């Protein structure tokens, strides 16, 4: 049977109140409350964005999800993990202050915010993995995510410098891995400096959180022992002097992300739902410390109980809306479809889906109120 993916269109630059109501309409379409037990601890996974980046989903959308989880009888909390790279979100203290600065507080989102891998990323639950054709023998996931009884993933769809596409699979697999898990997924991604193109400007070194880059007289040098494979140098170099031999590296990162999705959802497959917001879509992800203009007008919001179906639907809906494969065009050296192919092989979900357009539900709701 095909997985159902619900779609609701959004207008260009639609107000947050409207988007929040549409998020609630999608919860209704998913019949979320039917599978949640009274008192279940349900994590609403989102990200709080990066300093100077405005692409992330905003607090009213998280609030809408929190309210729907609570009205289903469960106990919601907002969940996120620390980043691998050093910055605003490296430990729980600066992470929560940063969230606060971006407007995410208990008052605005309506629930406690929990950094699920602990103060410094030490809250790690290790579980064995034995998936067909799998690369990971173990998964290291955030302890707080493991303990949650249900999960709601609110994902902002973007391009991504390591995986081509950064959406639901990335928000699950990378987003709720512990620091050890994030490292395991990135291992093998070591960029190289194209010396003749490098001007020794030092921008990459400023962005490199583990200080793996030093500037020699004429060019930058990366210490592979220090590099954590975050890919930031690749994104910030203004002279395209940083390259990664993607072939092998991105394939493996994508496959590992898919495998971590299976690990993180294990035991709560029926109590988890997935939203892809196709709004303010940019080539770069929201972890970049910069403002990026959207690549095209807002399209809508997708929701499903199948994480793979909602991912495939995002690709298809964007292609239909803009008339081309946005992710492939943005990152031509990366085959972003590998994450979905592998996810299907290891049983995460199905790319065979039925799209159900519920764009009229808001009008019906307004009519019902009259």
Residue 285: closest CA among 174, 166, 153, 186:
166
In the list 96, 227, 299, 340, the residue contacting ligand SF4 (rule: CB under 6 A) is 227
Quick check: 183 binds ligand SF4 (CB under 6 A)? no
In the list 233, 309, 310, 317, the residue contacting ligand SF4 (rule: CB under 6 A) is 233
Integer Cα distance of 145 and 142 in angstroms: 5
Q: How far is the CB of 283 from ligand SF4 (least distance, A)?
A: 18
In the list 57, 64, 92, 237, the residue contacting ligand SF4 (rule: CB under 6 A) is 237
Tell me the C-alpha to C-alpha distance, in Å, between residue 110 and each of 9, 63, 76: 26, 6, 9
Q: How far is the CB of 118 from ligand SF4 (least distance, A)?
A: 22
Q: What is the DSSP string of 71-130?
A: HTT-EEEEEE---SSSSTTSSHHHHHHHHHHTT--HHHHSS-EEETT-SSS--EEEEE--
Q: How far is the CB of 220 from ligand SF4 (least distance, A)?
A: 4
Quick check: 281 binds ligand SF4 (CB under 6 A)? no
Quick one: which segment of 23-31, 127-135, 237-245, 289-297 binds ligand SF4 (CB under 6 A)? Answer: 237-245
Q: Provide the 3-class DSSP secondary structure of residue 260.
A: helix
Q: Is 248 exposed, middle or buried (0-12, 13-18, 19+ CB in 10 A)?
A: exposed
**Which C-beta is closer to ligand SF4: that of 135 or that of 203?**
203
Residue 66: closest CA among 146, 152, 143:
152
Element (H, E) at 151: strand 150-156
**Which C-beta is closer to ligand SF4: that of 230 or that of 338?**
230
313 neighbors 355 (Cβ within 8 angstroms): yes
Q: How far is the CB of 145 from ligand SF4 (least distance, A)?
A: 24
Integer Cα distance of 300 and 9 in angstroms: 4
In the list 40, 232, 249, 259, the residue contacting ligand SF4 (rule: CB under 6 A) is 232
In the chain, which ranges are continuous DSSP H helix?
Answer: 16-30, 59-71, 92-101, 106-109, 143-147, 168-173, 179-186, 203-207, 232-236, 246-265, 307-322, 326-330, 338-345, 361-369
Q: What is the DSSP string of 189-210?
A: ---EE-GGG-----HHHHH-TT
Quick check: 201 binds ligand SF4 (CB under 6 A)? yes
Quick check: 338 binds ligand SF4 (CB under 6 A)? no
Quick check: 229 binds ligand SF4 (CB under 6 A)? yes
Q: How many residues bind ligand SF4 (CB under 6 A)?
A: 28
Q: How far is the CB of 243 from ligand SF4 (least distance, A)?
A: 10
Other beta carbons within 10 angstroms of residue 363's beta carbon come to 9
Quick check: 241 binds ligand SF4 (CB under 6 A)? yes
Quick one: which segment of 44-52, 124-132, 191-199, 345-353 binds ligand SF4 (CB under 6 A)? Answer: 191-199
In the list 79, 213, 299, 315, the residue contacting ligand SF4 (rule: CB under 6 A) is 213
In the list 150, 191, 300, 307, the residue contacting ligand SF4 (rule: CB under 6 A) is 191
In the list 42, 162, 177, 204, the residue contacting ligand SF4 (rule: CB under 6 A) is 204
Quick one: which segment of 24-32, 117-125, 171-179, 203-211 binds ligand SF4 (CB under 6 A)? Answer: 203-211
Q: How far is the CB of 234 from ligand SF4 (least distance, A)?
A: 7
In the list 8, 42, 65, 230, the residue contacting ligand SF4 (rule: CB under 6 A) is 230
In the list 142, 152, 161, 222, the residue contacting ligand SF4 (rule: CB under 6 A) is 222
Element (H, E) at 8: strand 3-9
Quick check: 228 binds ligand SF4 (CB under 6 A)? yes
Integer Cα distance of 88 and 56 in angstroms: 15
**Partners of 165 in the beta sheet?**
159
Element (H, E) at 154: strand 150-156
Q: Is the dihedral of CA 357, 343, 325, 24 positive or negative?
A: positive
Quick one: which segment of 27-35, 170-178, 226-234, 346-354 binds ligand SF4 (CB under 6 A)? Answer: 226-234
Which spans of this chain sit near ligand SF4 (rule: CB under 6 A)?
191, 193, 198-204, 207-208, 210, 212-213, 215, 220, 222, 227-233, 237, 239, 241-242
């Amino acid at each position: 049977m095909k997985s159902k993916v619900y779609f609701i269109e959004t207008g260009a630059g639609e107000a947050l109140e409207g988007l929040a109501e549409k998020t609630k309409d999608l919860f209704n379409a998913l019949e979320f409350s039917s599978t949640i037990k009274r008192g279940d601890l349900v994590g609403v996974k989102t990200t709080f964005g990066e300093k100077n980046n405005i692409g992330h989903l905003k607090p009213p959308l998280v609030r809408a999800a929190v309210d729907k989880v609570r009205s289903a009888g469960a106990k919601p909390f907002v969940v996120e993990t620390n980043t691998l790279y050093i910055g605003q979100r490296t430990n729980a203290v600066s992470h929560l202050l940063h969230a606060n600065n971006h407007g995410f507080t208990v008052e605005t989102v309506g629930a406690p915010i929990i950094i699920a891998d602990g103060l410094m990323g030490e809250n790690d639950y290790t579980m064995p993995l034995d998936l067909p054709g799998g690369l990971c023998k173990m998964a290291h996931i955030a302890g707080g995510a493991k303990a949650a009884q249900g999960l709601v993933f609110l994902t902002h769809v973007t391009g991504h410098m390591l995986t081509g596409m950064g959406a639901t699979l990335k928000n699950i697999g990378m987003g709720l891995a512990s620091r050890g898990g994030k490292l395991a997924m990135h291992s093998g991604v070591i960029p190289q400096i194209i010396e003749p193109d490098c001007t020794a400007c030092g921008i990459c070194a400023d962005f490199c959180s583990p200080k793996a880059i030093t500037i020699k007289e004429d060019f930058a040098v990366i210490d592979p022992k220090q590099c954590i494979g975050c890919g930031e140098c690749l994104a910030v170099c203004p002279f395209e002097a940083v390259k990664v031999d993607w072939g092998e590296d991105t394939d493996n990162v994508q496959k590992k992300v898919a495998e971590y999705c299976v690990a993180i959802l294990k035991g709560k497959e029926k109590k988890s739902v997935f939203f892809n917001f196709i709004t303010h879509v940019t080539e770069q992800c929201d972890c970049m410390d910069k403002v990026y203009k959207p690549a095209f007008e807002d399209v809508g919001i997708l929701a499903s109980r199948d994480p793979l179906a909602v991912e495939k639907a995002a690709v298809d809906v964007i292609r239909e809306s803009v008339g081309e494969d946005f992710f492939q065009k943005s990152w031509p050296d990366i085959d972003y479809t590998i994450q979905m192919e592998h996810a299907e092989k290891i049983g995460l979900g199905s790319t065979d889906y039925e799209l159900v357009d519920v764009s009229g539900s808001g009008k019906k709701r307004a009519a019902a109120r009259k």
